[in-house]
Amino acid sequence: MLKNLNPQQLAAVKHFGSPLLIVAGAGSGKTKFLTHKIAYIIDQKLTAPQHILAITFTNKAASEMKNRVQELLGEQCTEFPFISTFHSFCAYVLRKDFQSLNRPNNFIIYDSYEQQKLIKNILKNMDISKTSYTYNFVLAKISEFKNKLISYQDYATLPSNHILYDQVLAQIYEKYQQGLISNNAIDFDDMLFYTVVLFQRNPLVLAKYQTQFKYLLIDEYQDTNHAQYNLAKLLASQHQNIYVVGDFDQNIYSWRGANVQNILNFEKDYAQAKVLYLEQNYRSTKTILKAANGLIKHNQQRKEKKLWTENAEGEPLVFYKTKDEKQEAEYIAQKILSLKEKSEYQDIAVLYRTNAQSRVLEEILASQKIPYKLMGGFSFYSRSEVKDIMAYLRLIYNQADNQAFIRALSKPSRGVGQTSITKLLNQSQATNLSIYELIKQNKTNLATKQTQSLKSFATLIFELEQYYQTLTEDKIGKLVKSLLKKSGYQQMLEIENTPISLDRLENIKEIISITKNENLELGDFLNNIALISEIDNTVNLDNAVTLMTMHNAKGLEYKIVFIAGMEEGLLPHYRSKNIPEALEEERRLCYVSLTRAKEQLFLTAVDDRLIFGELWKRPTSCFLDEIPQDTLLIMEEEKSYSGHPHSIVYKSKEKFKNNQAFDHDFNVGDKVKHKIWGEGIIHNLEGIAEKSIAHIRFNGESKKLMLKYAAVTKV
């Protein structure tokens, strides 16, 4: 079982009795160590499989790890270790023990869309929707507080000169939490937050989980946040059987509260800790590794570490610049087709910085008949048609769910509009009865037309619920099929009969096929949806090119990797470029992307990119200059390209806006001075180049100023 490990990995697998940290670069076999360690613990019968808890970064990584462990153990595996993300683990704990914090165990998990709706509502009611407290800003702040384990009560009592404190935020935070509580909901950050609180406040519950999970293993430890760090510490505090791996150069989630100090301080936190290093990379060619190592050296805030390989020299990285993103996608498609002679589609991945980039890639790949699968993103479950169907399912499962009632009711429209809905909601709140109950008990107070419509809708839901009860297998699939017909939803799409509506119908059918294999109950399905965001929404395409964001590529490997959009503004992203720490994170992100490749790397960039329907001129990414030039082959498209990425001269006579003429170096958090309003603080920046707008709070009052014209200076 341990044959394929090198001496360091072997030593690590056999190490017991004290905490262990492995720090090592990309592709050095950290994840491989974890899977073998789990298998070894089981094989040696040190404990039963179900007493092992392994934490991965994504659900996909978790299921991959499960498969690996199973392969290693073969037949002898009857019970399984608990392998999941922090969030899924917390959901598991809270479904069992949330009641110990006086909250029901059958909470629902709000996704970001529902969070947004709640916040928007609060801002509207407080009459501050048009101020600097944008919902994005507020949500990011609340997330930050929760990750730092600051409850809204704690927050409210912070001294008013505390850096984090803001009186308005304190109010919003409280209202937001109360909103969640009254809907019996928690958000993603709450999962971690409440689990930590539960363990801290309730030693008995903690002890139960400490006994249940005698071994704790964590992948990607460099990207744990404060709450996750505390969770691990609590779980391991008795037995100290904690084994973590990570790479500080792959810390790419600090914007979400991930704190690289957690890995740097591991030895301080666990006094007996042993630290091991892996230095041999088994994944990539010498050229790829040289390129990646050369790039990451440019980070100042970094410990040096070795990473070498015995693999072949390999091909140079290829850089190709095109006129626009369409041609970029065409180049990638064409390259994929020519690579197809030697490689399979499944060996190829295309990475990009922002989800918005995937659109063009999808279109062009589809037009060239290249099969692809889109991984991750807020893809599937946030599409409006999927949400509509989910609303029906939620309502069938729980008729008291007013939110679901309203959404289902208005798709397709049933002649009941905003006014009636508001009345119903108010009545529901006043009487403590759900809208569904009100209708059933004839307690509504509306015009006949609306009442009739509501009645038949309620009957529809009742009948569907009855139908569901009679089913025995493939229950959700059959239910969805039936509701599509009876609700008129399918008819609505068929009448529209546009390509888009047909697409929507396809997506809904996807729900049917997702739920098919496992004989899922409605409740289990609905409860876990927020957690399974990463379903590949393409139907079991085995041999297909993978499209995903760079963040999603973490931990994965492909024979051939394309990196699209190697441009200033995209990588590094314009929001990061004036903040040194953020810029270094962008560089790490580039490092992660490069090191996904085993054999070949293609980097592309464009001259002009269409953003919000406007053409923007784009310089090539500074990171391209930082990659050792002898690993890089720059393909020339036209003679206008003179060899150095920054010396490109745009020769076309086409009209375009030269949008990069103006620039600034203000950042969020900067103190600034204005002629009229005096001193203020920038709390948000939007737009780019000449359209940059700063949101500045002057002495209580907030202003949005265009930096190109505004007379503000840094102080």
Ligand X SMILES: Nc1ncnc2c1ncn2[C@@H]1O[C@H](COP(=O)(O)OP(=O)(O)OP(=O)(O)O)[C@@H](O)[C@H]1O
Partner DNA sequence: TGTAAACCGGTTTTT
Partner DNA sequence: CCGGTTTACA
226 is a site residue for DNA (CB under 7 A): no
Give the closest residue to 515 by CA, choosing from 503, 500, 529, 505: 529
Nearest to DNA of 100, 112 (CB atom) = 112
To which H or E segment does residue 323 belong? none
The contact mask relative to DNA for 670-699 (x = CB under 7 A, - = no) is: ----------------x-------------
Binding segment for ligand X among 23-31, 141-149, 230-238, 647-655 (CB under 6 A)? 23-31
Kindly determine how many residues on this chain lie close enough to bind DNA according to the rule CB under 7 A. Answer: 52
Measured distance CA(27)–CA(284) in Å, rounded: 7
Measured distance CA(662)–CA(224) in Å, rounded: 38
Q: How crowded is the C-beta side of 624, counted as CA atoms within 13 Å?
A: 28
Other Cβ atoms less than 10 A from the Cβ of 431: the count is 12
Structure tokens at 380: 């599937």
Other Cβ atoms less than 10 A from the Cβ of 402: the count is 18
DSSP letters spanning 176-197 = HHHHHHHTTEE-HHHHHHHHHH
Q: Which of 587, 588, 596, 697 is catalytic?
A: 596
407 is a site residue for DNA (CB under 7 A): no
Q: Which of 111, 187, 189, 220 is catalytic?
A: 220
Query: Which among ligand X, DNA, none contacts residue 4 (Cβ within 5 to 8 A by kind)?
Result: ligand X
Query: Which among ligand X, DNA, none contacts residue 686 (Cβ within 5 to 8 A by kind)?
Result: DNA
Instruction: Decide if 592 contacts 550 (C-beta within 8 A).
Output: yes
Nearest to DNA of 34, 409 (CB atom) = 409
**Is 31 one of the annotated active-site residues of the chain?**
yes
Alpha-carbon radius of gyration of the chain? 27
- What's the closest the beta carbon of residue 40 comes to DNA, in angstroms? 27
587 is a site residue for ligand X (CB under 6 A): no
Query: Which among ligand X, DNA, none contacts residue 551 (Cβ within 5 to 8 A by kind)?
Result: DNA
Measured distance CA(711)–CA(106) in Å, rounded: 54
Structure tokens at 682: 């920038």
Work out which of 12, 21, 23, 27 binds ligand X, going by CB under 6 A: 27
410 is a site residue for DNA (CB under 7 A): yes
Placement of tokens 């399984």 in the chain: 80
Work out which of 401, 534, 599, 608 binds DNA, going by CB under 7 A: 534
Instruction: Decide if 490 contacts 368 (C-beta within 8 A).
Output: no
User: Binding to ligand X (CB under 6 A): which residues in 294-353?
Assistant: none
Q: How crowded is the C-beta side of 396, counted as CA atoms within 13 Å?
A: 27
Cα dihedral 47, 53, 59, 61, rounded to 10, equals: -60
Measured distance CA(419)–CA(350) in Å, rounded: 48
Nearest to DNA of 149, 276 (CB atom) = 149
416 is a site residue for DNA (CB under 7 A): yes
Other Cβ atoms less than 10 A from the Cβ of 296: the count is 25
User: Binding to DNA (CB under 7 A): which residues in 93-112?
Assistant: 112
Nearest to ligand X of 592, 689 (CB atom) = 592
CA 51 vs. chain centroid, Å, equals 28
Work out which of 16, 80, 137, 282 binds ligand X, going by CB under 6 A: 282
Kindly determine how many residues on this chain lie close enough to bind ligand X according to the rule CB under 6 A. Answer: 19
Contact set with DNA (CB under 7 A): 57-59, 85-88, 112-113, 117, 120, 124, 134, 136, 188-189, 252, 255-256, 353-356, 376-378, 384, 410, 413-420, 447, 450, 531, 533-534, 549, 551-552, 573, 575-576, 582, 611-613, 686
Which residues of this chain interact with ligand X, rule CB under 6 A? 4-6, 9, 24, 26-32, 247, 250, 282-283, 555, 557, 595
